[in-house]
């Protein structure tokens, strides 16, 4: 199980998550919180938060939550479907996300992710479906 923020930080090095500036602030089986900057890495050329960045943020939070609910490293949780409703634009500062499970099953998980701005206004509402998979073992 991905159990600590310190362990997680090592696994996130040199990934999209780090390139977007996403920071995980809470990691529990029933809740994952994080924040993402609204800057040149995450905006459209017009300076508005990119919907793809919001979607990547949502899937990141849900997937980390999913990994906390399987037998990692022997099992993993991977995204199979995501829905994102972009509700409010953001031009600067930070957005904050909270992922909570709607369903944790043996084969699938469904997570709801709420992304808000610094004024705690809803920016994006997302639902992420994950598949629980066994890791393939490699032998030399």
Catalytic residue positions, numbered: 59
73 vs 136: CA distance, rounded Å: 10
Q: Is the dihedral of CA 136, 132, 129, 43 positive or negative?
A: negative
Alpha-helix residue ranges (DSSP H) falling in the chain? 5-12, 16-19, 51-68
57 vs 50: CA distance, rounded Å: 11
Report the C-alpha dihedral over residues 17, 86, 38, 44, rounded to 10 degrees. 90
């Amino acid at each position: 199980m991905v159990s600590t923020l310190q362990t997680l930080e090592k696994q996130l090095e040199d990934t999209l998550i780090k390139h977007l500036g996403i920071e995980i602030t809470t990691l529990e089986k029933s809740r994952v919180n994080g924040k993402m900057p609204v800057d040149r890495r995450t905006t459209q050329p017009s300076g508005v938060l990119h919907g793809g960045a919001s979607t990547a943020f949502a899937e990141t939070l849900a997937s980390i939550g999913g990994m906390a609910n399987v037998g990692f490293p022997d099992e993993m949780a991977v995204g199979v479907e995501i829905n994102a409703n972009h509700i409010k634009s953001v031009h600067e500062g930070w957005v904050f996300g909270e992922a909570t499970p709607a369903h944790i099953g043996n084969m699938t998980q469904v997570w709801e992710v709420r992304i808000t701005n610094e004024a705690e206004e809803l920016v994006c509402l997302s639902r992420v479906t994950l598949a629980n998979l066994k890791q393939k073992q490699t032998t030399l």
